[in-house]
Structures are given as structure tokens and as C-alpha cells.
Structure 1
Amino acid sequence: FREWKGDYKFLTELTLVLNHKIWQYYENRPDMAVLYNTLWEQADQYAKENLKGNELSYYWEVTD
């Protein structure tokens, strides 16, 4: 994460993938869904606190 957190498009894609994984494992592997949810919450919070201007707008448009 440290290597990529400065790339707002990658960060946006990461949150999308983590969200997809939550739904993928929700019924059959709830333990994995909980793990992916924790990671998603951290990535989402980081994005909301650190992206500014056009980067934050991009994040909201893509993840909405």
C-alpha cells in the first residue's frame, strides 16, 4: 500500500476491488469478507482524508 498510496487512480481501483471481494466472499467465506471489509475501510478512509481537489472528485465519481 505504501508504494501505491500516492497514485489516486490505483487507490480508487484498490477500493473497488476490495469492495468486490467483500461481496464475493460474503456468503461462503465470511471470515474473508471481514478481512476484505477491514482493508476496504482503511483504504476508503485514507482516500477520503488524503485525496484533494480533482483526485477526490475522481474517487467519488468512480466509487459512487
Structure 2
Amino acid sequence: MCQHKPTCPSADDDARLAAVPVTARPEQGWSLLCNRVVVFDDTGALLPSGKSIAPYRPEPVAAA
């Protein structure tokens, strides 16, 4: 697994996206992190277990 010091967060950790990218394919819109999480340009992610993390979409703020 991770050979970095300090070690990268695991795929199950809430800070999973702080792991070091080991492969990047910007032309395809994804990167593979050291913890085997695939991160997509739209902020979604795919965990090694096969579980997907939906893209982060902030709620619009209503005009006052």
C-alpha cells in the first residue's frame, strides 16, 4: 500500500481524497490515488470496494 511518510489516509477514511495521486489521466477526467480511490474531475469518486461517492454539489443560496 502507501509508502509515503506520513502515510496516506485509507479509502475508508473521511480524508481519503488527501492521498497522493499515483496516476492521472486529465484527458479522461480521472486520477488514481495511492489508497486505490479513483477521483473524477466532477468531484465524484470510486472506492476500491466498488462503492461510489456522488459528486459534491453545493446547494444554491437563495437571494435575500
Identify the structure with bigger relative contact order (alpha carbons < 8 Å, sequence gap 6+).
Answer: 1
Q: Comparing both structures, which one devotes a greater share of its residues to helix? A: 1
Q: Comparing both structures, which one devotes a greater share of its residues to strand? A: 2
> Shared topology, TM-score over 0.5?
no
TM norm structure 2: 0.25
